[in-house]
Amino acid sequence: MKTDTKIVRAGRKAEFTQGVVNPSVTRASTVVFNTVAEMNHALKNSHNNTMLYGRRGTTTSFAFQDAMVTLEGGAGCALYPSGTAAITNAIISFVETGDHILVVDSVYEPTRDYCDKILAKIGVETTYYDPLIGAAIEALIKPNTKIVFLESPGSITMEIQDVPAIAEIAHQHNCIVMLDNTWGAGINFQPFDYGVDISVQAATKYIVGHSDVMLGTATAVEKYWPQLRDNSYLMGQCTSPDDLYLALRGIRTIGVRLRQHQQSALKIAQWLSERPEVETVLHPAFASNAGHEFFQRDFTGSNGLFSFVLNRGNQQAVTALLDGMEHFKMGYSWGGFESLILATHNVQKLRTVTKWPYQHALIRLHIGLEDVDDLIEDLEQGFARLNQEC
Ligand SMILES: *Cc1c(COP(=O)(O)O)cnc(C)c1O
């Protein structure tokens, strides 16, 4: 089945929909049983889409989990109240005091903070590695290395990793390969085809797609699914059926949304690359992007999120650019229908083992579903404000 067909069908089994088109919203704490036999049946089958207790999920979460496995693959999907919770819980499910993990230097900043502030406290050591390291990661693996954590493209700076090369080495040393697949969204990158064992997503972004829900997912291969699932239960992770319903609704349009985000973003990225104010465009589909060859080989498309680096302007000039934007609003997160803009003045302070080669500010854009010409006009006026301050 092709992706667009999967998107329409995902999670819509009759047991979840009761015969209507969409899965129903089942709100529950207590699930009640009339007989001991019924209760025992639920106890035995709670891992198998049978309701036992609200925290263990209802038909709405079963439908969403089923949908995520349909899109992304894997043996099962654990749910968390945010993407960050998915990352932290997936990692903690597989490490103990004395272990070591490898984490990509271009990782999402809160993931790095978790490693440095929480894992360090319990005696789990983190070594960061160059996103372009490939098979040379072998030199960093120690006898106690448990997890190799990837994120591709890298947060803000967009480096694409050679996932299969890293996964092959990691597996030779019995390490678990975990990937933050938020940018790929389970649509443009199929993690389990490239050696990933556990794929984490901030469903907050493109899965939900409308900037109104926080949600995290972790899908896993058969080998690691029971441990991931059991640890998720043990740590009390659960999600609201109303939020999951919105995420299921988001999924129905993710194919068409991503194609439009991609088309508009490519047009704007091309336009930016010809602007005199731009040092470089950081977009995985551009030949100049670090790891572009792996993007060409492994991804089926891009989306609305990319960055560019300015070649001029101090903080005040960049502030002038940002402050007057009409359509691009400043805000964290991305993946909704609206355009966003964010400036980072010191990329180097987000890195510990790689050298950031550029001097001026990096601007990250999320290209929303507005008319692309309106967005270009907005950026053009932003550059005029920047130039006035230079
Ligand atoms: C936003 C984001 C997260 C965290 O998701 P939240 O739902 O905001 O906690 C994790 N990884 C990446 C790459 C993200 O962009």
Last residue within a domain, chosen from 235, 252, 269: 252
Task: Please tell me whether residues 167 and 247 are part of one structural domain.
Answer: yes
Task: Please tell me whether residues 207 and 234 are part of one structural domain.
Answer: yes
Report the chain's mean pLDDT, rounded to a whole number: 98
Task: Please tell me whether residues 38 and 133 are part of one structural domain.
Answer: yes
Task: Please tell me whether residues 205 and 85 are part of one structural domain.
Answer: yes
71 lines ligand 1 (CB under 6 A): no
Per-residue pLDDT, 259: 98
Residue 213: both structure tokens together: 């829900």
E strand or H helix at 342, and its extent?
strand 340-344
Task: Please tell me whether residues 198 and 276 are part of one structural domain.
Answer: no
E strand or H helix at 320, and its extent?
helix 315-323
> Model pTM?
0.98
> CA torsion sign, 92 to 172 to 102 to 348?
negative
Ligand 1: which of 160, 204, 207 to mutate, judged by most atoms within 8 Å of the beta carbon? Answer: 204
Per-residue pLDDT, 241: 98
Task: Please tell me whether residues 191 and 281 are part of one structural domain.
Answer: no
Task: Please tell me whether residues 116 and 162 are part of one structural domain.
Answer: yes
Last residue within a domain, chosen from 200, 224, 252: 252
- pLDDT tens per residue across span 327-365: 999 999 999 999 999 999 999 999 999 999 999 999 999
Average pLDDT over residues 13-36: 97
Per-residue pLDDT, 207: 98
* Distance from Cα 202 to the centre of ligand 1, integer Å: 5
Kindly report the CATH number assigned to the domain that includes residue 319. Answer: 3.90.1150.10
Share of the chain above pLDDT 70, in %: 100
Last residue within a domain, chosen from 182, 217, 252: 252
Task: Please tell me whether residues 285 and 149 are part of one structural domain.
Answer: no
pLDDT tier for residue 139 given thresholds of 50, 70 and 90: very high
- pLDDT tens per residue across span 237-284: 999 999 999 999 999 999 999 999 999 999 999 999 999 999 999 999
Task: Please tell me whether residues 365 and 245 are part of one structural domain.
Answer: no
Residue 237 structural domain: 3-252
Task: Please tell me whether residues 216 and 266 are part of one structural domain.
Answer: no
Given a contact cutoff of 8 angstroms between Cβ atoms, the answer to whether 318 and 277 are in contact is no
Per-residue pLDDT, 252: 98
Task: Please tell me whether residues 205 and 100 are part of one structural domain.
Answer: yes
Judged by DSSP in three states, 329 sits in strand
pLDDT tier for residue 306 given thresholds of 50, 70 and 90: very high
Domains of the chain: total: 2
Distance (Å, whole) CA 37 – CA 35: 5
* Distance from Cα 62 to the centre of ligand 1, integer Å: 23
* Distance from Cα 193 to the centre of ligand 1, integer Å: 23
pLDDT tier for residue 193 given thresholds of 50, 70 and 90: very high
* DSSP string computed for 214-281: --EEEEE-TTTHHHHHHHHHHTT----HHHHHHHHHHHHTHHHHHHHHHHHHHHHHHHHHT-TTEEEE
